[in-house]
Amino acid sequence: MMQPQELINNILSDVRVELLDEFDRNFTRKAFFNKGWAKRKYDDGKGSLMNRTGALRRSLHAKSSGTTVTFYTKSPYALIHNSGGSIIVTRRMKRFFWAMYYKYSGKVKTLKNGKKSTSASSQLNNSTAEFYKAMALKKVGSRINMPQRQFIGPSPDVERIIRSIIEDNVTEYFNKFNIQQK
């Protein structure tokens, strides 16, 4: 005979697994359920910033304790992406941006006549270099605004999934006892 605590544990386990899967799918959808993520102002042709290395996606975890399920990530940049906000430019960031500028500007091919190549890869490297140059020229203390690209958290979709899981588990629980629900 299934005990009520076992029913609660089953519900919590199903919520943990199902919502973790849904939060992971947000990276495939490039949206928080049906609310699309903001596009980048600058496209470097390497795909979505949120999926570039997969580290943020892989950092999602969930744990059950008592009667709660907690979803979390230890990624240091998860909060700014999930909530949006602004980042203050530091000297260290400027050094990084200059290094990236020199890296990409060196990849722009120069033709024998001394002109810059107009190939697609050279144009992409040139625009990437120009992006990093613009970032490197920002003043220390200025702000870079990050739009919200939510991938985890509460929403009507999360509530709907939880409600469905509870209903399915309770129905299964009562069906084991052949108890008719009204």
pLDDT tens digits, one per residue of 122-164: 666 677 888 899 999 999 999 999 999 999 999 999 999 999 9
pLDDT tens profile 43-74: 666 666 777 788 999 999 999 988 899 999 99
pLDDT of residue 119: 65
State mean pLDDT over 65-91.
94
**73 touches 59 (CB < 8 A):** yes
State mean pLDDT over 104-128.
69
Strands 68-72 and 61-65: antiparallel
Residue, of 97 and 4, whose pLDDT is higher: 97
Residue, of 128 and 29, whose pLDDT is higher: 29
Question: 43 — alpha (psi -120 to 50), left (phi > 0) or beta?
Answer: beta
> How much is the pTM?
0.78
Tokens 């089953």 locate to: 10
Q: Please name which of 108, 104, 132, 129 lies closest in space to residue 120, comparing C-alpha atoms.
A: 108
Tokens of 166: 């509870």
**166 touches 11 (CB < 8 A):** yes
Burial of 3 (0-12, 13-18, 19+ CB in 10 A): exposed
Distance CA 77, CA 10 (A): 33
Of these ranges, 27-41, 51-65, 93-107, 146-160, the one predicted with the greatest mean pLDDT is 146-160
Distance CA 167, CA 14 (A): 12
- Residue 50: count other Cβ atoms within 10 Å of its Cβ: 17
